[in-house]
Amino acid sequence: MIFIREAHEPHTYKAIHAKDVLMVSSKKDYSMIWVEGQQVPYEVYASLTSIQARFPAFIRCHFSYLVNPDKIRAVNFKERFVLLGEMGLRAMISPDGEGKKKMKELVAL
């Protein structure tokens, strides 16, 4: 479990369990943590690298996405995306490199 401070509510902390997180996407100045059952992500002022340190089991499938391997429903290599959770969120896969390699290893299991 981690505690985050939301970008829009700086005096409020939320507890998030890793098992509930679908993915983390990164923007220029902040990251968005997508949680199962919520339509709107948590926006946090943290880099993807620092979030990856807090969730070491997550897979970096693209330079701007971390995905929870337990929430992956499908992987489409032709269209380069990962389908996540009940909500059907999509995360991109790198066209080549480490992200694609990790996804292929995961699918092979």
What is the domain-level CATH number for residue 95? Answer: 2.40.50.1020
pLDDT of the chain, 109 residues: tens digit per residue: 777 776 667 777 888 888 999 999 998 888 899 998 888 888 888 888 888 888 889 999 888 999 999 999 998 888 888 999 887 888 888 877 777 788 788 777 5
Instruction: Using the structure block, give the residue that is written with the tokens 């391997």.
Output: 69
Q: How many domains does the chain have?
A: 1
Given this model, what pLDDT does residue 109 score? 56
Given this model, what pLDDT does residue 71 score? 92
Q: Give the domain range for residue 7.
A: 2-108
Q: In 3-state terms, what secondary structure has residue 103?
A: helix
Nearest to 43 by CA among 29, 63, 53, 55: 29
